[in-house]
Amino acid sequence: MMLLSWPSHILRCLTLTLFAITLVGCSEDKSPWQLHTEQGTTLMEQGKFPEAEQELKAALELAEQFEGQDPRLIQSITNLAILHNAKGEPEQAETLLLKAVGIHEEGPNSQTAELAASLSNLGALYVTQQKFDQAQASFERALAVREQALGPDNPEVIRDLENLAALFVRQSHYAEAESYLKRVLDSKERTTGPEAPELVEPLNNLALLHRAQEQYDQAEALLLRALAIKEKQIGPTNPHLLGSLNNLALLYSTARQFSQATPVLERMLTITEEGFGEEHPRVALTLNQLGEIYRIQDQPEQAIPLIQRAITIIEKAEGPEHSSLTGPLNNLALLYVTTGQYEKADPLFQRTITLTEQTMGKDHFRVERALRNYTTLLRKMGRTEEAVTQETRANAIHEKNNPPVTSSPG
C-alpha cells in the first residue's frame, strides 16, 4: 500500500512509492514462477526493462495456468503493471490493473482486502496521470471495501484515508482533506491512546493543512501537542525534536509572529549544536533561519553575525560554490543594504547570482529574484546604467518563465 505525496509547500510528511513490489519468499526449491518473478523484479530494480519484461511475462504465462483464483496471478499482473509504469507506459499499466480488479470481482468473494489493494494501485496510477476523479473513485472504493473487510482502525484503512486526504490536498480541496485526516487522527487515538508517538505524524499533517488554510491557531495547538508527545518520549534536547520545532517555527514565520518564532529557532540552534557539533551544515541552516527572522524584524546587529557564521560553516564543510550558500549570501547582502554598507553588499549579490546560475540554471526564477535585489542596490549606489541592464535581464527571465496566456478565438 502506498501514500500519495503532498505538495511540498504544504506537507512533507507523506510520501508515495507507486506500487509496492511483493518479493516472493525464498526457499530451497523454487518453482519456475518464483524464479521468473524474482529475476524479473531484480532486473526491473536495476533498470533493465526489456529483460525484466521477458521474465515477468513468463511468470504471468505460468500464473495464468494455475487453477482457481490463485493470488500469484494478481501478483504477476501487478508486477507487469509496475514495469510498464516505470517505463513511462501508463496506458498499459492501467489495462493490467483493471484486469486485476476484474479478476477479483469475478471471484466467489469479491469484496476482499486484496481487491482493495488493486484498487489502491489503480488510484495511485490515475494520480500520476492527473486523472483525479478516477483516482478518487478508486481510492473511495478501496476504502469502503477494506473498511468492511478489516475494520475501521486497520492500518491499511488508515493508509486509504491518507491517500484520499493527499489527493484532495493536491487539488487544493482542503475541507475534504481535513475530514479524512481527522479520521486518521481519531482512529490512531482509539488504537494507541492520546499520548502515543504514533499520533505525531497525523497531528503534524493536520496542522500543516490548517497552516495552508491560514488557520494558524488550530495549527499551533496541534503542533504543540505533537511536540509535547515527542518531548515526553525522547526528552527536551533530542535532535529528533528538530522536525517538530521547525514546523512550529515555520508556522510562526508564516503567521508573521516573529517574536514567537525566535525562541523556537534559538532552541533549535542549541539542540543542533549539541547534537551535531558547532560546525555541522545543519547548524548553518538554523543560523540562516534565525538570522532571517532577525532581519525581517529589522534587527541587523543580531542577524549579521549569525548569517556570517552560517556562510563560514557551509564554505568549510561543502566548499565555496555549494548551492546552499545562495540563501545566506543573499540574506547577508540584504542586511548590508539595510545598514547602508553598499560596497559589502555588491560582491555578495554578484556571487549569489553566479552560484544560482551554476546550480539552478541561468533562467531559474531564483536568478530573477537575485537580479532584482542587485538592481535595487545598483540604483541606491547611483549606477543606473548597470541597474537597467540587470533589470532587463530579470524581466526577460520572468517573461520566459511566465508566458502570456492567449485565449482561443471564439
Provide the total of helices (H) and of strands (E) in the chain, helices listed first.
Answer: 18, 0
Name the pLDDT band for 403 (thresholds 50, 70, 90).
confident
pLDDT for 322 equals 92
Query: Looking at the predicted structure, is the pLDDT value of residue 3 above 60?
Result: no
Report, in angstroms and rounded to the nearest whole number, the Rg of the chain calculated over CA atoms: 27
Distance between CA atoms of 337 and 258, rounded to whole angstroms? Answer: 21
- All three cell numbers of 317, joined, read 564543510
At residue 63 the predicted structure's pLDDT band, cuts being 50, 70 and 90, is confident
Identical fold, 1-171 and 235-319: yes
What is the end-to-end Cα distance of the chain in Å, rounded? Answer: 46
On whether the CB atoms of residues 119 and 157 are closer than 8 A, the answer is no
CB 53 within 8 A of CB 96: no
- Nearest CA among 11, 385, 363, 344 for reference residue 166: 11
Segment holding 10, helix H or strand E: none
Q: Does domain 1-171 have CATH number 1.25.40.10?
A: yes
In Å, what is the CA distance from 201 to each residue of 144, 180, 198, 222, 357? 24, 14, 7, 11, 37
Its CATH class, for the domain covering 235-319, is: mainly alpha
Check pLDDT > 50 for residue 24. Answer: no
Kindly indicate the confidence band of residue 2, based on its pLDDT and cuts at 50, 70 and 90.
very low
C-alpha cell belonging to residue 113? 482486502
Distance CA 345, CA 323 (A): 19
In whole angstroms, what is the distance from residue 89 CA to residue 121 CA? 15
pLDDT, tens digit, 9 for 90 and up, residues 175-206: 999 999 999 999 999 999 999 999 999 999 99
- Distance, in Å, from the CA atom of 104 to the CA atom of 326, rounded to the nearest integer, reads 54
Q: pTM to 2 decimals?
A: 0.79
d(CA 224, CA 244): 8
**Which of 223, 183, 190, 154 lies closest to 1 in space, CA to CA?**
154
On average, the pLDDT of the chain sits at 88
Rounded Cα–Cα distance for residues 202 and 208 (Å): 10
Boundaries of every domain in the chain: 1-171, 235-319, 342-401
Name the least confident of 12-16, 36-40, 141-145, 210-214. 12-16
Portion of the chain with pLDDT greater than 70, in percent? 91
